[in-house]
Amino acid sequence: MTILIEKHSGYRRITLNRPERLNALNIEMADALTAALDAAEADKSCRALLLTGAGRGFCAGQDLNEIVDLPAREIAALIDHYHPLIRRLHASPLPIVGAVNGVAAGAGANLALACDIVLAARSASFVQAFARIGLVPDCGGTWLLPRLVGGARARALALLAEPLPADTAAAWGLIWQAVDDERLMPAAEALAARLATGPTFALGLAKSALAAAATNDLDDQLDLERDLQAKAAAHPDHAEAVRAFLGKRPASFAGRQS
């Protein structure tokens, strides 16, 4: 099994599971991840996802054993399995927590960065390893990096392919937080559990608004916010939260039930 799926209350934990190769990516794993997303989104009781890796690495990117003798056109065709997954992660209506437990390299780094909130163990690092093997950053790296850390840092990360320690990744805004290694999974699970009791519908709309902001101008974005706000306001979670606030009690969000 290239991935493991555990159902928790309100969320699913997906673990990349090829630890002997630092969870290096292959077609089977990418397709399994896409299927896991399909299944999670179809299950209305699932309101958040947590993505992590088994063993000491998060994901070492493309499994190099599997491309060593491939013709160039077949190497390029791998993208047809990886990029749909990246699109799905960015577009998912579910909040996705990435728990980067060790090195995240190449496509593995950009897989981690496709999660909505990324926590990393302090011992973890992010490597845009592509240049080391004469490839171009893919899986959204060239799109995401300049937006997250600016052009100067994005260029150095892509061209030098040096490991970026988790603390620096957090300081640069590439990820949300670096935490002590032993705190990673408790912190990531607490975050996923918290998101799983949140206003899931509104969280999904917020994700889509932030994604659209990458290409919209301010006028378009304000129009989009107006339209999405109308949808959020019509959802029972909004009325419940306002009543809860006024009643000085915690809100109980229905999430995806309507």
Site string for ligand T3D, 103-122 (x = CB under 6 A): x-xxx---------------
Residues in 18-77 that interact with ligand T3D by CB under 6 A = 21-22, 24, 60-65, 75-76
129 makes contact with ligand T3D (CB under 6 A):
yes
Taking CB under 6 A as the rule, does residue 140 contact ligand T3D? no
DSSP letter, residue 242:
H
Where would I find the beta strands (DSSP E) of the chain? 3-7, 11-16, 48-53, 57-59, 96-100, 103-105, 117-121, 125-127, 164-165, 177-179
Site for ligand T3D in 174-233 (CB under 6 A): none
Q: Among 29, 36, 78, 145, indicate the residue that binds ligand T3D (CB under 6 A).
A: 78
- Residue 5 touching ligand T3D (CB under 6 A): no
CB 140 within 8 Å of CB 54: no
What is the 8-class DSSP label of residue 21? G
Residue closer to ligand T3D by CB (options 107, 188) is 107
Distances (CA, A) of 252 to 44, 89, 95, 240: 16, 26, 18, 7
3-state secondary structure of 178: strand
CB contact at 8 A, 24 and 63: yes
- Distance in angstroms (rounded) separating the CA atoms of residues 220 and 200: 24
In angstroms, give the least distance from the CB of 204 to ligand T3D.
28
Euclidean distance between CA atoms 105 and 107, whole angstroms: 6
Rg of the chain (C-alpha set): 19
**Identity of the residue, 22 or 170, whose beta carbon is nearer to ligand T3D in the bound complex:** 22
237 touching ligand T3D, by CB under 6 A: no
Cα-based distances in Å from 161 to 134, 153, 173, 226:
11, 11, 18, 41
Quote the least distance from Cβ 179 to ligand T3D, whole Å.
20
Min separation Cβ 6 and ligand T3D, Å = 24
Among 99, 121, 127, 174, binds ligand T3D (CB under 6 A): 127
Give the range of 41-49, 98-106, 179-187, 249-257 binding ligand T3D by CB under 6 A.
98-106
- Residues near ligand T3D, by CB under 6 A: 21-22, 24, 60-65, 75-76, 78-79, 82, 103, 105-107, 127, 129-130, 132-133, 135, 138
